[in-house]
Structure 1
Amino acid sequence: MNRNVNAIAARLSLRPPQRKSLEILDRVTEILPLRKHADLKAALEIIRSEYPGVTDFERAFPSLCFAIATGVGKTRLMGAFIAYLYLAHGMRNFFVLAPNLTIYDKLIADFTPGKRKYVFKGISEFAVVPPEIITGDNWESRGANLDLFGGVAINIFNISKLNSEAKGGKQLKMRSFRETLGESYFGHLAGKPDLVLIMDESHRYRGDAGVRALDELKPVLGLEVTATPFVEKGTKGAQPFKNVVFDYPLARAIDDGFVKIPAVVTRKDFRASDHSAEALERLKIEDGLGLHEQVKVHLATYSAESGRERVKPFVLIIARDTTHAAELKKLVEALYGGRYVGRVIQVDSTSKDEEVTRALLAVEHADEPTEIVIHVNMLKEGWDVTNLYTIIPLRAANARTLVEQSIGRGLRLPYGQRTGVLEVDRLNIVAHDKFQEIVDDARRSDSPVRLQTLVLDPEAVRKPLATVVSRPNYAPPDPQGPNYAREGAVVYSAAERIVAALVVDELHRLSGNPNLAPTSSALSNVSVQAQIVQAVKSRMTAQPVLPGIETGPDVSAIVAQMTQSLVMGMIDIPRIVVTPKGQVTAGFRPFTVDLTGVRPSNAADTLWVQRLDDGVGHQVVLSADQSGGEEARLEDYLVRHLIDFKDVDYMAHADLLYDLASQTVRHLKTYLSEDEVEPVLRQQGEALSRLIHGQMQAHYQEGADEGYEATVHRGWTELKPCAYTTAAGESPRDYRQAPPDLNRIGTYLFGGFGRCLYPVQKFDSNPERLLSVILDRDTERWFRPNNGQFQIRYRRGSDHPEYVPDFVAETASTLVMIEVKAANQLGDLEVKAKAEAAREWARHATEYTSQNGGKPWRYLVLAHDLLQENMSFDGLSKVAATV
């Protein structure tokens, strides 16, 4: 496999389906010469020899379709294609086609350096000379200087605009002569020997006049990306593409957790036939908005508990036509005393002005007021938002059309991955009248939410597994096992190995005596060496299983050799116990509850929410819950839930709890009448209490009136053996090379290190492997610690679990604990809690090492997207995250 595939996949953090697509492109470029005016018949035979599903290019040039489910990342994949073709094959000219103005604007932004979703972030070659972006709006000025740039040129055009120009057989403006070029811009592009055409959402314009006109550009290759690899042809129905080279359907994306979980919603014990069309429509809207308000609370709670940015959800209502959309807007704004006035936008043929378009694209931003979008199917693809959580379809359509047209807009995950909180990971489709029809359709074998393929690797399935124990390099081989001699290691006889084991045991015993051996290097002192020799000889004499052996091996020599091996193969990690002095206090500080955007309301029924992927259903209570009894004070509906949390002591926090509850009640009264507040507290008191408790975590404090005292029980601790499960008989992989399947990197064993304190290690991610390359090159020694190596505890709610950093390394001047984190997780409260505990441990450890001639300790958190082999460890240290 081309090394550029591994590099690009790592730098862009490609998901498995994206990486697989890139691997296919890599293989295609190996077997198919990319040149203009290729023999299509011969090229098709070459492709079909490895990808038999491709039966026709359906273009005047070789063109392949990558069918990737919505929400998996098609735009990033297009960026990966361009980066690969440039880095691996030197291609510099690309023509990217968008189906409409929305996607056109989005693509320009995503290919522009400095933008939030810049697709080439991590490609160092483009950091120095970024690609030149030529668009349908600036080609006349910038395209003229195209050859002066000397780098990659990405042309981005809107097919809708090209179609309007080509209507009626007219000539494209690009075909008109340009004096600055000496030819037309079209001719200029057609003359490029390496032009690649990339078609986004290609199902939208397969037979359009603009695309037919572009056939004459004769690109060397066409790459199509779409989530819908078929076109509708009247009575013939959906006609699948004939050039699909890779298909990753929605069901796979749902199953793999790359998108939200789709669910259909109705009322419990509901019969649509009992209601008029108007009443049913209003019920769906009211229930959808009630569910929306609950989702807001869950998202706010998750933000408070995790420390991640808050997500503002919104509702999409799909109207029948423009008149219907206007009526719905009035209805929504009249509900709940005008709560949603100024928070609803209407998108249809009457609302194409720039202000509405900007508002639509800004709906994702937390500080933008829109909570309800009403549209008449004007936008299909390209509305790239992640915070759509509730869809209310009010157009007449069959179940499949409702699902396919609805869920595509709401599948993207706001945090890039599932959180494990169902309400945060779920997309709700409110369809009272179509509930059973949608559920039945989802259960069909050809349902888009169930249809998937799974290709097993027979060799991988049949491979037996084995347990491999990786002992630290200084440890002697197992006396009962074969004598595995490392390079440069002393080869011991069977008797000498028994002595070596006794020596190591004595060395470890001395780690618990910081007065005699405050550091591992102190073991080399003459007096300590003599004490170890004497202790080993005494044990040899006292054990009857070793008769006469004391006269054989040279104990002094073995002690000296084993001590040197331990000192050279050790990073001193002191065992520190921190205890408070004087009176200890712990609790929560007063604060103002953040209830921005949280406006729960009372509804009349219980909803039934059924997942479409696995068919599991459950009820969501919107009606008042009579359980728990009636409370004398409104605040008690919240306090009774708050005191159930294990870290909340009612006696110590009563005043604070009632203050927080009072703030919440006052907030409810700003938009609810006095009679409405109690039912809402009965109904959603538990959810509101979780939100309050989540925010309390950021205001926790503990202390001792006389400070803390750190006691060092061990100056250094032994390195523990690591047990790994791996394929039996499989040799460790070279740590400098990425494995073939990054999705399975946790199953591989890596070796070949020069400065690691263990012969083999495992990694949880490719960024960790990349860090090992840097550490092995730039530090004196490093390893991945085991549980119990540090005894660092951090606070997580009422628990204090152990924290083990990902790496430990020693440089010429410092000892470092290192944590590798996904860039989008750096703000998590748990990450911050770990960092706080680790830095406190490092402070006490440094105090100890400074008294004993050792190096200071540091703690670094590195974002995964910083890890590239060209980075030095010093360079990484300077850009470590502030957590």
Structure 2
Amino acid sequence: MMWRPIFFELSAQALDLRLFLTQCLTDTAVRPQMEVLSRRRRRMSKLTVDSNLLAEIRHRVDLREPNAQAVESVAFMMSQHYDVENKAGPFECVVDSATGVGKTYILAGLIEYLAGIDNPARNFLILTPGRTIRDKTIRNFTPGDYKSITGTMRSEPVIVTAENFNSPSVAAAIKNTSRTKIYIFTVQALTSQTGDGRETHDYQEFLGASLYEWLGNLHDLVILADEHHCYRGPAFSRTIKNLKPEVVVGVTATPASADEELVVYRYPLAQAIEDEYVKMPVLVARKDDRSDDRTKLLDGVTLLHHKERMSEAWAAENGRIPVRPVMLVIAQTIDDAKAYRDILDSEAFDDGKWIGKTLLVHSQLTGEEKEKALADLDAVEDPDSPVRIILSIGMLKEGWDVKNVYVIASMRASVSEVLTEQTLGRGMRLPYGSYTGEQMLDTVEVLAHERYEALLAKRNTLTQQMIDHRILTEIRTTGEGTKVARKKTFEAESSFHFKETPSATTEEQRTDSQDKIRSLEERLKETEDRTVDIPHEEQTHLPLPFREQIEIPYVQRVAQPQPISLNQVHDMKPFEDLGKALTHEAGDTLTRTVLKSKSGKIRGHRAEDTVEALFLDTPLETSRNGLIKHVMKIRGVEQRANELRAAGSIVDTVIGAMGGSASQNLSAYFERAAKRLAAQVTDQLRDFASTSVTFGEEVRLATLKAPRKARRRHEPNHENTFERSLAYNGWQKGAYEYAWFDSSPEYKAAGAIDADENVVVWARLHRGDIPITWTQEGREYNPDLVVIEEIDGVRTCWLVETKMNKEMLSADVLAKKKAARTWSNTVNHSGQVSGKWKYLLLSEDDVNDAAGSWAQMKDFGQ
């Protein structure tokens, strides 16, 4: 939360006196009230978030779902910082939101929230990396401008810029403590005392200080850093330190890797495309060998022709003003750009259709030529603009994006360079505000320099540009009953796939270097007995005879070439959603159209009488078997018993979601259900053919009885603080008398598991106990714990893996999780095990927040 500082209740005259005293006193003497605020913070102990205000802002400002979630995440984590953890200011975080989704609305939502809470902030500083974004932001927050978004903002902010801050009306507003101010400046205007920064560092008589010093003496300053990734450097850090803000929020689509810990919300491009908030990128390449500049430009304008015709037809049909498609050509040098312009401006190119329709923009433009180019660029969205092709030399990156960019041609860069958000983002905004249903209008074409076959060879590189994970902030109640805000990660996968299957890689093709690769985790486990407590005498432990034995299933990885497997279908929620979506009243009405003649023309009309459709009453088991057959017919699925059981599990999920109407609905809509089910399964399997591991059908069961050997000090109980050098006793349900651990989360998780009344037996797993192959090269890993629990007569066998927070999103951890879930599905569908095997991935926050509750760990984990 924000606090309204004491001096905000003073008059303007007293404020001037305070500024004078500020200049005379030392830094330690001028902020006594900050100590008061700090003491006030220390008295806080719970989350203080105005949920009603957040909901009202979401509705009033009409925030898209991801933008509303971003604002909420900042509010939750700010309160966690100040109110729960009692930390000193500033609270600093980063919002990572895909280009084109509307980062400016996130800024507006944050301003509305922080200016609307009980103790509001009145001073917001928006920093931009350059004048282009600064000018765009000023327009966004200037009432009356056609690009303004302030119509729904109740805070009615006064916009303060380098051009107006010392004008009489704005100067009065700056000193008015009841008015909300938005200061919009380039970062250079504050980090430097020369050039753009000279005016902000000059003494201003009406303030009694420079604007920079004035901002530094505000106790409710909120800094909103647009394109935050541009500010990595000592000058920005020094500026933040000098301004002493309460809150710093960075907003960007490409955060610096060093700022990953600051990210409180992430909405990646893959998710934005799936949710239809931005255009779908389409890669365009040629199957022939032609890659000259003229051919590429001809391909680009050919696409423009098609898109223009489609836009005009759709707009006429829907009563909209047609959007005129534009192509962005990205050159590497000014000379290259001029050469492309000469090609486009010639009669010999496309019959001269593009003469006078190009705009060249580069950094060496000066004077009137530059002003005209910038004015033409700003008017590109205007239907009357003659500009149809923009040629740029890396100048149009952050901060410039218009809705009608429909084609991007990067003339020299490889496609992997083009598919970055700095470049691709220039064409992601939706021209009509939402999807039209016409694919040609809902896509942005990316002209690749590579041939089609070259793109296929790079398929992994291309999809990785769009594959990312989401970060949301959730409120959870810990085992101690305290509400806390925590970051939670979700995998988000791109919906773009290449259908061609890569050539198989055999075991013999592995190199010696690949065979020798080991993760840090594996290296630690290999050497743990050699690195801790060597002086202690080695002790051997066998499973306790009075504890129930743990039966471990073992399966073998299928070597390349690898078929897909239905056991790789991990996410069942889409199938639950499908079942609910397929639930309709059986016996729907027939659609009947009567053909009538009038004035010699035949027209169709809806029939006046309603006729109910009849349906065939098919037994549910017959429908179920039919759906299983459709799943088994999916290309690549082998006709094996294990796969058949996996198909049955998927089908049962759909039927279960349909509830009591399943029989009637499947009787009436079987073909529709079968088609959509097969499509959903295919979507989940599409990526696995080249990236994941499958396991054979044969399952071998063996009792866990391997001896445990350790040279370390043996503790009689496990009630002490965790030490990696200790072996702990005192377990009530452990398969072995003693257990030792690699990390504190493992140790705490074991304590919670051992104390749970539903747990039958558990064991700390060692190398080789349950080796799960997680790469095609044959690399193996062992989860941390195996847990057998029984609830209401139903047994569940858990494989538990714990990780530090910072490791949760590593590629290795995600790949291991995927392999372990495929392993679990394979075992469960083998027909050879009792109970159901599941995999649980826990972060250190998940373990700590559960406060000793195994039940809550299962709820928190992935």
**TM-score range normalised by the length of the shorter chain:** 0.3 to 0.5
Q: Using structure 2 for the length normalisation, give the TM-score.
A: 0.47
Q: Using structure 1 for the length normalisation, give the TM-score.
A: 0.46
